[in-house]
Amino acid sequence: MPAPSILQDDEGWVDYSYINHYVANDVVVLCAFDDPDADARAADILAEAYPGRTIELVEARDIFAFGGGIHCITQQQPQRPGKPD
């Protein structure tokens, strides 16, 4: 998987990555970084890896700015012990 070509933003170095994507029933949600060529290459690679699924690009720079990616923010939260469903 290629890396985005964007290495810095207004704040400094960034750690953008296409690896942090989310696979659901008929879709793969893929981070996008306003890097058209790299975003498209990553989408093409995942389309080959996940035939039959739609690849949805989602702008992820703000998500990464707060310390995560698409896969990170889709994780389940554990229930507090003793709290009913």
Query: Residue 45 and residue 19: Cα distance in Å, rounded?
Result: 11
What is the maximum span of the chain, computed from C-alpha positions, in angstroms?
A: 50
Query: Residue 77 and residue 85: Cα distance in Å, rounded?
Result: 13
Active-site residue, from 7, 49, 72, 73 = 72
State yes or no: is 72 an active-site residue.
Answer: yes
Coil/strand/helix, residue 77: coil
Active-site residues, by number, are 72
